[in-house]
Amino acid sequence: MKSNTINKQEIEKFSKIASQWWDPNGKFKPLHKFNPIRIEYIKDSIIKHFKIKATKTPLKKIDILDIGCGGGLLSEPMCRLGAKVVGIDASKKNIQVAKFHAKKNNLNINYICSSPEILKIKKKFDVILNMEIIEHVDDVNFFIKKSSELLKKNGLMFVATLNKTLKSYMFAIIGAEYIMGWLPIGTHDWEKFVKPEDLIKISKKNSLEIENLDGLKYNLLKNKWIVSEDNSVNYIAKFKKN
């Protein structure tokens, strides 16, 4: 039986480039481009689900757990929107970078070097973010199970990842890593990509009901990511805890 979700090779890979998290032109440039659509999607979904009035800080009563938070690219905007944020990552270097950047910007975010199955925290969360993380963990079933255990009933879990298709191999690996050089070679392992139907089955077993599944694609003309009906490469799923 699995006791942890940490893939040491994956952690080492991201730890090596941890210093570049906040450089918009560095190794995480694609994620900086990706971030606005993620923030908008999450914010709008939370406001709608919890029937919140739109203000400058609409998430002020929301407890968020950002799993695999990296350097804090999502934790910080969620905090600025008013949420109480706990960010966890299995890489100590990522957490160091995240803590330093939050302190520099006077943001109160609780960053912890941990994975969901060993997180020593008693409270449960309104929202859990699993963004671009499940394709890097050791056991998706166990990871979703442990994540779900940290979510309140009627809470939301967001999962953004890559579909396991020939198109995703061509775009996310051959295109992004080898041809365009947008990502360091070896960032992704196609064998670890997850089909939406498999993610939905795993989640259902763990009291998570699918509410939305949307594709995300890069619009070259607008030079930005947009929500799309095409989920053959990148997709984002929103689940509700039963």
CATH architecture for the domain at 8-241: 3-Layer(aba) Sandwich (3.40)
Which residue ranges of the chain lie beneath pLDDT 50?
A: 1
- Alpha-carbon distance of 47 to 136, in angstroms, equals 29
- Alpha-carbon distance of 161 to 125, in angstroms, equals 21
Tell me what pLDDT residue 229 has.
96
* 84-129 pLDDT, tens digit each: 999 999 999 999 999 999 999 999 999 999 999 999 998 999 999 9
Q: Per-residue b/e over 144-162, b at no fewer than 16 CB within 10 Å?
A: bbbbbebbeeebbbbbbbb
Alpha carbons within 13 angstroms on the beta-carbon side of residue 223 total 0
Q: Could you tell me which residues come within 8 angstroms of residue 189 by beta carbon, excluding any fewer than 6 positions away?
A: 135
